[in-house]
Amino acid sequence: MSSFIPFDRSQPYLLPPDLKSWLPSDDVAHFIVAAVERVPLRAFSVPVRTGGKAQYHPRLMLALLIYAYANGVFSSRRIERATYRDIGIWALMTP
């Protein structure tokens, strides 16, 4: 008889539907989201483009940069890599 917790790698939902619930309530990601929501972004408004891929919202990009810089990640390649691995960044990117 083993005392291991059973697991199934083919389980469809390994993460909760709301990734913010994985972060502690005092995590810096929550503060950054709240702070970026209060920043007026009129300077970032751009005319509507007619072609190409849709752009990411400036609030998302600003929150991503602030979070990465606050965690000592300054390289754009490392920031991009963190978007695949860091739960805090995932929580920033969820609506």
DSSP structure string for the chain:
---PPP--TT-S-SS-S-GGGGS-TT-HHHHHHHHHHHS--GGG--PPPSSSSPPPPHHHHHHHHHHHHHTT---HHHHHHHHHH-HHHHHHH--
Question: Over the stretch 70-91, which tens digit does the pLDDT of each residue have?
Answer: 999 999 999 999 999 998 998 8
| pLDDT computed for residue 91 by the predictor | 86
Each domain of the chain, given as residue ranges in start order, spans 19-41+57-93
pTM of structure: 0.77
Q: Is the pLDDT of residue 8 over 80?
A: no
Q: Are 92 and 63 in contact (CB under 8 A)?
A: yes
Q: So what's the pLDDT on residue 14? A: 66
- Helices 28-38/58-70 angle, 10° precision: 140
pLDDT in tens, 22-78: 888 899 999 999 999 999 988 777 777 777 777 788 889 999 999 999 999 999 999
